[in-house]
């Protein structure tokens, strides 16, 4: 996975247009596994939330934001990490793995809208 892209500008010098990789985490669960109604899922979720800041710091990962679609039992989170390996190590922490008993995950590398515009402008 690429972490940096260098492009030439009109002065023939290279400039960095991407920083640390961004990962989108899409999480889903069934209504039966919803932590609003499932006591075991709620306990695991609350334990993870209590340690999340410490785990993020341990792996050098930053949570950029999170959004919940309650009626669809869906959550989307955005993270910035120094590498996919660092993000994967975070996901292998016992507190995170415990939640996978109730959730399914998709992880997608992403770039910002501004970075996409920069790529398009540099493509000419």
Tens digit of pLDDT for each residue in 84-120?
999 999 999 999 999 999 999 999 999 999 999 999 9
The pLDDT of residue 19 is 77
The pLDDT of residue 109 is 96
- pTM of the complete model: 0.80
- Segment among 4-8, 37-41, 58-62, 81-85 with least mean pLDDT: 4-8
Contact of 77 with 27, CB cutoff 8 Å = yes
* pLDDT tens, residue by residue, 4-33: 333 333 444 334 546 789 999 999 999 999
| Domains along the chain with CATH numbers | 20-111 (3.30.70.100)
């Amino acid at each position: 996975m690429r972490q940096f892209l260098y492009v030439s500008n009109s002065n023939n010098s290279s400039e960095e247009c991407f920083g640390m990789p961004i990962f989108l985490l899409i999480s889903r669960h069934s209504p039966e596994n919803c932590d609003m109604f499932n006591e075991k899922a709620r306990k695991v979720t609350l334990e993870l939330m209590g340690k999340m800041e410490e785990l993020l710091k341990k792996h050098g990962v930053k949570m950029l934001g999170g959004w919940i679609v309650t009626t669809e039992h869906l959550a989307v989170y955005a993270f910035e990490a120094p590498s996919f390996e660092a993000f994967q190590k975070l996901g292998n922490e016992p507190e995170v793995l415990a939640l996978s008993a109730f959730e399914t995950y998709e992880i997608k590398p992403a770039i910002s809208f501004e970075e996409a515009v920069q790529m398009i402008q540099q493509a000419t």
